[in-house]
Amino acid sequence: MSHDVSPIDALAAHAEQRKDRRAFFKAAVGAAAVGAGAFLVSKPAQAQTLTDADILNFALNLEYLEANFYYYAVYGRGIPATSITGVGTPVAAVGGKQVTFQDSLLAEMAREIAEDELAHVNFLRTALGTAAVAQPAIDIGVSATSAFSVAAQAATLVPAGGVFDPYASDLNFLYGAFLFEDVGVTAYKGASSLLTNKTYLDAAAGILAAEAYHASMIRTTIDQLGGNVGLKASTIRGDTELVSNARDSLDGTSDLDQGIAYVSSGAGPTSNIAPTDGNGIAFGRTTGQVLNIVYLNKAQVTAGGFFPSGVNGTIRSSANNA
């Protein structure tokens, strides 16, 4: 896709490319209701043997990543050492930086989110007890080969080999957060129906909601700046479509992602804060699809991107979308 088209054109083109894939995927999920066995078939093969602890540990890895990103952005350091121990060897996150926020409201929201994410880490660790995995190696640095830079290069926000520093400005921070938060929502949404324990399910639903609030805060704040010139696209809203498309290129043929570009209609311009399917329902990703994104790899791999040594726990492999 050309990247110098207007955001609306980009969106239209994007919609064109994704419509058959998404309809197919959603229909496949709907079809799974038909037979008892079909549901599991539509999930990765590993889903058949997952325990609740496996799923919570998978979520814990993602929370480690999110919490460290926000902690660095707000405080200039990672989460406390007491919150990263567990099964495996804990590795402190390095490479993040404190953001010098210009917008005091954004600073206040970042502080709120940082605390929520640390609370999620601690809650999951408590729920898992001695089964909790340690924090794996996390790359939230700013070198030209960092996960953020590679992701931004894939999205064409920066040129090949260019650096993307999510701590350099309010807008860069928002883009970094945008990259994570929607993925968190899709991960919890995808995992919710896999949990068997009702108490865990209730908690996971509450964390899912919190992640959606966070994503909404970030998307709304970006949208309030949305008409300004973007890093690559003609507008900031257009930039978000580039990031969304990059994510979509990793997680398979299903389209599970949307930027915030406005859509014109007979009733007037319409925003896209909530990324939803044709039923007004938020997207979910399988664990494998989530790992495609955080590993920044569409192939079936067990490490890369934001987790250079992979995540800890039994759910480690991304899906094979290569």
Partner 1 sequence: MIDRETLLEVFDIAERRRNERRRFIKMAGTAVAATAGASLLAACDNDDDKSVPVTPTPSPTPTAGLPAGDVDVLNFALNLEYLEANYYTFAAFGSGLNTTLQSGTGTQGSVTGGAQVPFQDATVAAYAREIAADENLHVTFLRQQLGSSAVAMPAINIDGGANGAFTAAARAAGVVGPTGTFNPYASDENWLLGGMLLTDVGVTAYKGSASLISNKVILDAAAGILAVEAYHSGLIRTLLYRKGLAMPALRTNADLISNARDTVDNGFDDDQGISSTTINGGAASNIVPADSNGIVFGRTAGDVLNVAYLNAGAVSSGGFFPAGLNGNIKTSTAA
Nearer to partner 1, 219 or 247 (CB): 219
Contact between residue 5 and residue 16 where contact means Cβ atoms under 8 Å apart: no
Take residue 220 and report the two structure tokens written for it.
Answer: 């709304």
Q: Which stretch binds partner 1 (CB under 8 A): 12-20, 53-61, 83-91, 165-173?
A: 12-20
Number of residues counted as binding partner 1 (CB under 8 A) = 89
DSSP codes of every residue in 120-154: HHHHHHHHHGGGPBPPPP-B---STTSHHHHHHHH
Nearer to partner 1, 18 or 316 (CB): 18
Q: Min. distance of Cβ 264 from partner 1 in angstroms?
A: 7
- Gyration radius (Cα) of the chain, Å: 19
CA 33 – CA 193 distance, rounded (Å): 13
Nearer to partner 1, 4 or 202 (CB): 202
| Binding map of partner 1 across residues 59-88, x = CB under 8 A, - = no contact | ---------------xx-------------
Which residue from 262, 179, 250 is spatially nearest to 10, judged by alpha carbons?
A: 262
Nearer to partner 1, 20 or 159 (CB): 20
Q: State the CB neighbour count (10 A cutoff) for residue 86.
A: 21
Q: Min. distance of Cβ 154 from partner 1 in angstroms?
A: 24
Site for partner 1 in 257-316 (CB under 8 A): 258, 262-284
Q: Which of 51, 169, 220, 314 binds partner 1 (CB under 8 A)?
A: 220
If phi > 0 it is left, if psi is from -120 to 50 it is alpha, else beta; for residue 290 that is alpha
In degrees rounded to 5, what are phi and psi of residue 304?
A: 140, 170
Q: Min. distance of Cβ 93 from partner 1 in angstroms?
A: 18
Q: Min. distance of Cβ 309 from partner 1 in angstroms?
A: 26
Take residue 100 and report the two structure tokens written for it.
Answer: 């010098």
Contact between residue 297 and residue 305 where contact means Cβ atoms under 8 Å apart: yes
Q: Min. distance of Cβ 26 from partner 1 in angstroms?
A: 5
Q: Min. distance of Cβ 161 from partner 1 in angstroms?
A: 35
For residue 182, how many C-alpha atoms fall within 13 Å in the half-sphere facing its CB? 28
CA 63 – CA 170 distance, rounded (Å): 22
9 binds partner 1 (CB under 8 A): no
Q: Which of 46, 169, 216, 309 binds partner 1 (CB under 8 A)?
A: 216
Site for partner 1 in 174-213 (CB under 8 A): 185, 188-189, 192-193, 198-199, 201-203, 205-213
Site for partner 1 in 100-159 (CB under 8 A): 104-105, 107-109, 111-113, 115-120, 122-123
Nearer to partner 1, 159 or 206 (CB): 206
Which residue from 213, 217, 206 is spatially nearest to 120, judged by alpha carbons?
A: 206
Site for partner 1 in 21-60 (CB under 8 A): 22-24, 26-35, 38-39
CA 247 – CA 157 distance, rounded (Å): 13
Q: Min. distance of Cβ 44 from partner 1 in angstroms?
A: 15
Chain centre distance of CA 303: 16
304 SS3 class:
strand
Q: Min. distance of Cβ 80 from partner 1 in angstroms?
A: 11
Nearer to partner 1, 165 or 182 (CB): 182
Q: Which of 65, 133, 215, 315 binds partner 1 (CB under 8 A)?
A: 215
